[in-house]
Amino acid sequence: ARHLYICDFHKNLIQSVRNRRKRKGSDDDGDSPVQDVDTPEVDLYQLQVNTLRRYKRHFKLQTRPGLNKAQLVEIIGCHFRTIPVNEKDTLTYFIYSVKNDKNKPDLKMDSGVH
């Protein structure tokens, strides 16, 4: 179903996370990333080795050649946890994308060729 608004479930979820962070006594002014204890860990082992290699190449991580999956996951995991995320901007962009149906890849058709 296409939403033109944020549903009550997701609105309450976002507000509960915000309230939980305020109660923890964070003196964050909103401009810096927040490292929350409740932040779920990303299981990088679920990704394929080619995906891990693309991540490594995209972020230009310096490693020795011929690493196995476990070694790639360890290096990428360390890097991934250091990427700053502004929660407010991320949520705003996510809601904008959902409202404007931007979650689907743009399918560009060649002129006349299908």
Domain spans in the chain, listed from the N-terminal domain onward: 41-101
For 73, half-sphere exposure in the C-beta direction (CA atoms, 13 angstrom radius) is 12
User: Mean pLDDT score of the chain, rounded to an integer?
Assistant: 75
Which tens digits make up the pLDDT trace of 28-78? 544 444 444 455 578 899 999 999 999 999 999 999 988 999 999 999 999
Q: Does pTM top 0.75 for this prediction?
A: no
**Residue 33 contacts residue 52 (beta carbons within 8 Å):** no
Q: State residue 21's pLDDT score.
A: 59
Q: What distance lies between CA 105 and its chain's CA centroid?
A: 17
Per-residue tokens: 81: 């946890």
Q: State residue 34's pLDDT score.
A: 47
Helix, strand, coil shares, percent, the chain, to 5: 50, 0, 50
